[in-house]
Amino acid sequence: MAAQARVFEDSSARADWAGKSGREAAGGFRLPPVPNESIYFYRKPIDNSGVVRLPDPKASARCWRWVAAATTVTLLLAGLLWPGAYSLLAGYQVESLKGQQETLRAELASLELEQARLVTPERLDQLAREQELIDPAPDQVVQLAPAPDGSLARNLSAK
């Protein structure tokens, strides 16, 4: 209320400064061109030096209680929500790893297939022909039956 009073005072002061009363300046009861121009367009010197904040220990305690309560509630909520959120994030991670596992399995299977393709008898046959390899003649094949002492070659015995 005090501030409002000061505003009214300022308005009359501005009229004084212009040399006429406000009603005269406005040509009788003429409306100002912009509403509330005195508020928006003119600086109002307000002196707050007289306003003094008095210490209020009760309000301070109430404030700290509110802070403590809000923190507790926040922590409780976080504690309740954290496992769920963590589980969700872990779920994303697990599913992503499962996908990677499947991809690696598919890659392994395709490599096994490639390996099997590389050792087909037809391909080996062709490679052998390119290297001019031939089937051994019957007299070039010697069957070595292992002797009782474990030796394979006829002239060698196991040590």
Partner 1 sequence: MWSGGQGQARRRATWFVLALAFWLLVIVCRLVQLQVLQHGYYRAESDKRTTRVVELPARRGNILDRAGRPLALSLPAESIVVNPMRAPQPDVAAAYLAPVLGLDQRDLEQRLITAARQRRGFLWIKRRVSFAESQQLRRLGFGWVEFRRESLRAYPKGILAAHVLGGVDFEERGNGGVEQSFEEDLRGKAGAAHVIRDVVRRGVDSRTERPAEPGANITLTIDERIQHVAERELAKAVQESRSQTGSVVVLDPKTGDILALASYPAYDPNLPFKTRQDAEKRANHAVSVPFEPGSVFKVITVAAAMETTRLTPETIIACGRGRLNLFGRVIRDHHPYDMLPVAGVLAKSSNIGAIQIGLAVGERNLLNYVRRFGFGRPTGVPLPGESAGKVRELENWGRSSIGSVAMGHEISATTMQLAQATAAIANGGLLIPPRLVLSKQRQGQKAELTPVGSPRSILRPETAITMRRMMEGVVLNGTGTLARLDGYTAGGKTGSAQIFDPACRCYLHVYNSSFAGFAPVANPAAVVVVTINGASVFGGAVAAPVFREVASAALRLRNVPRDLPDNPPPRESAPVELADLAIPALESLEELLPEPATPERDGPRSVWGPRVPDFYGKTMRAVLEETARLGFPVEVSGSGVVRAQAPTPGSILPHNGRIRIVFAR
Q: Using CB under 8 A as the criterion, which residues of the chain lie in contact with partner 1 when the complex forms?
A: 88, 91-92, 94-96, 98-99, 102-103, 105-107, 109-110, 112-113, 116-117, 119-122, 125, 135-139, 141, 143
Rounded least distance, CB 156 to partner 1, Å: 19
Q: Which is nearer to partner 1, 16 or 107 (CB)?
A: 107
Q: Collapsing DSSP states into helix, strand and coil, what is residue 34?
A: coil
Rounded least distance, CB 148 to partner 1, Å: 18
Q: Which is nearer to partner 1, 54 or 137 (CB)?
A: 137
Enumerate the H helices of the chain as residue ranges: 2-18, 22-25, 37-40, 57-118, 121-130
Rounded least distance, CB 142 to partner 1, Å: 10
Task: Copy the structure tokens of residue 109.
Answer: 């299977």
Q: How many residues does the chain have?
A: 159
Residue with tokens 């509403």, as numbered in its chain: 35
DSSP state of 140: G
Q: Which is nearer to partner 1, 51 or 119 (CB)?
A: 119
Q: Which is nearer to partner 1, 18 or 124 (CB)?
A: 124
CA distance 86 to 93: 11
Q: Which of 76, 81, 84, 4 is CA-nearest to residue 44?
A: 4
Rounded least distance, CB 146 to partner 1, Å: 13
